[in-house]
Amino acid sequence: MNLRIFPPEEMLDANVKLPLSKSISNRALIINALSGRSQSIGPVAKCDDTDVMVTALTSDSDCVNIGAAGTAMRFLTAFFASQEHRTVTIDGTERMRHRPIKALVDALRNCGADIEYANEEGFPPLHINGRRLQGGKISLSASISSQYISAILMIAPMMEQGIELTLEGDIISRPYIEMTLSLMKQWGVESTFSNNVITIKPQRYNAIDFTVEADWSAASYWYEIAALSSGFVSLNGLYNNSDQGDSNIATFMECLGVITEFEDDVVNLQPSPEISPRLNLDLSDQPDLAQTIVVTSCMLGIPFHLTGLSTLKIKETDRLEALRTEMRKMGFVLEIERDSQLIWEGVRVPISQMPVFETYEDHRMAMALAPIALMLPGIVINNAEVVSKSYPEYWQHLQEAGFRFADADAPITTDEQDPS
């Protein structure tokens, strides 16, 4: 599905019921399963990533295909490794077969796991023979993916010795690790996290009733829309002081002209004339916000230097290269440094045609690029259906906010588009 997008004809004033948090949902599903609870928890996110998690956890099949869901691959690898007498082969899309998982497998093997590579060493698919894991003292690089760490932490209470996990190097996406430990505590598991060492003793999860809050990552695209439209947006289901690291979008967007007002479980976004002349941010804790911040800053003409982006190369696509390529279509010349930094110093080149953006099978590319239509009506988003990975209702919600869509091959009949 290729969409041509046009902005609302009137001042934007949107009230949005956001999807539930994918990050919280996936952790809650794993922890709930480990608690031995027979019934499912309350409503969870309805998206591809969570759907495959639910299917895998409720199926007796010895072959599990998680598609493009990287979180599911990591969490389920650890989960199945800890399930005694369960044998599973876990696989995914062709892209998933090229996303590294060796660091997690090595760490699980050090805990006593029986995991073999079905094809290429270091990559899915994986053949897993579940067993009671020994645990003990292990080390894991903290600079690759916090999901490796969370995957091990959630099964740690089930290990004979528990675990003493030393995180080596700079910790990225720390809020996601803290989110995992916080959720584990709600299910009754205690832990300590001090000086890069996480300790969890053998213990049992307690079955509880649990409610999933709305998704701050999904909220980020509405912050972008608010910044580029100077309109008003209300987002439902969000809370102040959330465990979700991406809730920091509220702070970041203050620099880009958006004020956040909290009212119970509603967040109201209002325009502000206060916009920073330059943005320098370390996104080590919130790398998934990079696309939103890059596109917003470029479209507002604000130079930036973003660091802490080393994990973007192993996401659904190489997001550093994807951003550089797609923003060039708008004339913005971005630089990549050390495979972990994105820089724009204000350099632009002319463009001669209406941009047609690729999404690279990456939901966040599609959602971050779409709001460009507010400033350049008629842009095209190719393979727009990729949003189903985390926010299936995204296009519907944009339409309800006044955005208009047309077939990408249909001619543009208005004279309002001038890409030069």
Residue 381, helix vs strand vs coil: strand
Whole-angstrom distance, CA of residue 175 vs CA of residue 36: 27
**Helices 146-155 and 174-186, axial angle in degrees (round to 10):** 20
Q: Let me know the angle formed at the C-alpha of 202 by 171 and 156, rounded to the nearest 5 degrees.
A: 35
Cα dihedral value 214, 220, 222, 225, nearest 10: 180
Per-residue H/E/C for 167-229:
EECCCCCHHHHHHHHHHHHHCCCCCEEECCEEEECCCCCCCCCCCCCECHHHHHHHHHHHHHH
Whole-angstrom distance, CA of residue 269 vs CA of residue 227: 9
Whole-angstrom distance, CA of residue 305 vs CA of residue 223: 20
The answer, yes or no, to whether the previous bond of 271 is cis (omega within 30 of 0) is no
Single-letter code of the amino acid located at 168: E
Q: 49, 215, 246, 288: which one is catalytic? A: 288
User: Phi/psi of residue 282, each to 5°?
Assistant: -100, 115
For 384-404, letters b (16+ CB in 10 Å) and e give: bebbbbbbbbbbebbeebbbe
Cβ–Cβ under 8 Å, residues 102 and 122: yes
* Chain centroid to CA 239: 18
Whole-angstrom distance, CA of residue 239 vs CA of residue 162: 33
Q: Give the C-alpha distances (Å, rounded to integers) separating 164 from 29, 116, 167, 194, 277.
A: 24, 24, 10, 11, 45
Is 282 a catalytic site residue?
A: no
Task: Find residue 127's DSSP bridge partners.
Answer: 89, 116
Nearest alpha-carbon partner for 198 in 206, 207, 189: 189
Whole-angstrom distance, CA of residue 176 vs CA of residue 287: 11
Hey, what are 3's tokens? 């969409």
The residues that are catalytic are: 288
